[in-house]
Amino acid sequence: MSLEPSSHPDQLSPETVAVVAGRPAREHDAAVNPPIVLSSTYVGTGQVVDGDRAYGRYSNPTWDPLEEALSELEGATLPSLVFSSGLAAVSAALSLIPVGGVLVMPRHSYQGALVMAQEQTAKGLFTLRTVDIANNDDVIAALTGAGEKAADMLWLESPTNPMLEVADLRVLCRSAKAVGALVVTDNTFSTPLVQKPLELGSDIVLHSVTKYLAGHSDVILGALITSDGELRRTLLHYRSIHGAIAGPFEAWLALRGLRTLALRVERAQDSAMTLAKRLDLHDGVEKVLFPGLDSDPGHERAKAQMLGFGSILCVQVAGGEAAANALVEALRLWTPATSLGGVESLIERRRRHANEPDSVPVNLLRLSVGIENVEDLWNDLSQALAHAAGKR
């Protein structure tokens, strides 16, 4: 089931791949878009063999073009695997850790992934070592185990959620290889247009397709991408047996959203940079976390491994939790909501979630910059900052 080159020439740029990947063959009167196939089972006679569709939990033709497009974008040689959510993909990836094994994970990993790992640790399935992922020495010590068992899996997320710490992906992937640990990289924040973890040494890339890839806040979906046939077979088996599969409509919507990925990412990144610079100069803001700023501790590393700096930025509001809440409530254009990566700009105070680690400041707001006009976004922030200043 290797990836057949599509009918388009090789060496297309990623912006073009997002538009052309997974199209039906060009035949007279063929549809330009792949259809949605609603069928729970498939006609078959004789022995079921590998690659047969057989049943709707194993495969669906609507998944194929999306799976092909995602792996082309990440530079993988095998089709990706879509899951019912990003966390379903996390669950499949964590299943690769042997019982009694060791997982090394950033302490500011996506909250759901961290909770899942902690719960599995509490059950005695494996040992969890959380680290400051921006600190190479810290991560390497956790990988080698310093006298204890070496790691079986390194989980990478960069920039992290919500602290936007930047991991040294090349060095950490090499260090993981040296101890025989598998590397899984959650690339949700960056998208394959900005960061390519497989090229940097990761074995598996994970996406919450819910976010930038689908891009319109109307789908929950996840994906795993790898070029390793053995790993892919194991993960495909896990998906077939555990059953967290994508609905055909969601898969279709995600591919539809993916077509405009490059334009959305480009606009959102530009606006995020503009807003980060202005917020950094504002006296209502204590601190801006954004790897795009020269002063950010992750700036040089981000430049060395990313094409741009993404469009998530965080601010610590002067005046603490009350001022941060007042700012959010005064906004008219920005939507107060969790999630990120959609066309609309979202903002949230992360510590409003009970599970958020204490190391995330109470006055920290996470901003997911959308594709609206940047001056409209700024004007709204600026009036809300003035309002929040009144609450200090």
Q: Which residues bind ligand PLP (CB under 6 A)?
A: 85-87, 110, 112-113, 161, 186, 188-189, 208, 210-211, 220, 222
Is the sign of the CA dihedral 334, 335, 340, 343 positive or negative? negative
Q: How far is the CB of 112 from ligand PLP (least distance, A)?
A: 5
**Active-site hit among 57, 177, 259, 277:** 57
Q: How far is the CB of 158 from ligand PLP (least distance, A)?
A: 10
Q: Report the C-alpha gap between 151 and 147 in whole angstroms.
A: 12
Closest CA to 104 of 150, 151, 36, 136: 151
Residue showing the smallest CB distance to ligand PLP in the complex = 86
Of the pair 120, 161, the CB lying nearest ligand PLP is at 161
Q: How far is the CB of 340 from ligand PLP (least distance, A)?
A: 6
Q: How far is the CB of 85 from ligand PLP (least distance, A)?
A: 3
**Active-site hit among 23, 129, 196, 211:** 211
Of the pair 78, 88, the CB lying nearest ligand PLP is at 88
Q: Report the C-alpha gap between 5 and 8 in whole angstroms.
A: 8
Name the token pair of 336.
Answer: 């107060």
Indicate if 211 belongs to the active site.
Answer: yes
**Active-site hit among 64, 132, 168, 186:** 186
Q: How far is the CB of 186 from ligand PLP (least distance, A)?
A: 5
Indicate if 283 belongs to the active site.
Answer: no
Q: How far is the CB of 240 from ligand PLP (least distance, A)?
A: 19
Of the pair 152, 186, the CB lying nearest ligand PLP is at 186
Is the sign of the CA dihedral 127, 114, 209, 167 positive or negative? negative
Indicate if 186 belongs to the active site.
Answer: yes
Of the pair 106, 308, the CB lying nearest ligand PLP is at 106
Of the pair 56, 112, the CB lying nearest ligand PLP is at 112
Of the pair 87, 176, the CB lying nearest ligand PLP is at 87
**Active-site hit among 23, 64, 110, 238:** 110
Q: Which residues are catalytic?
A: 57, 110, 186, 211
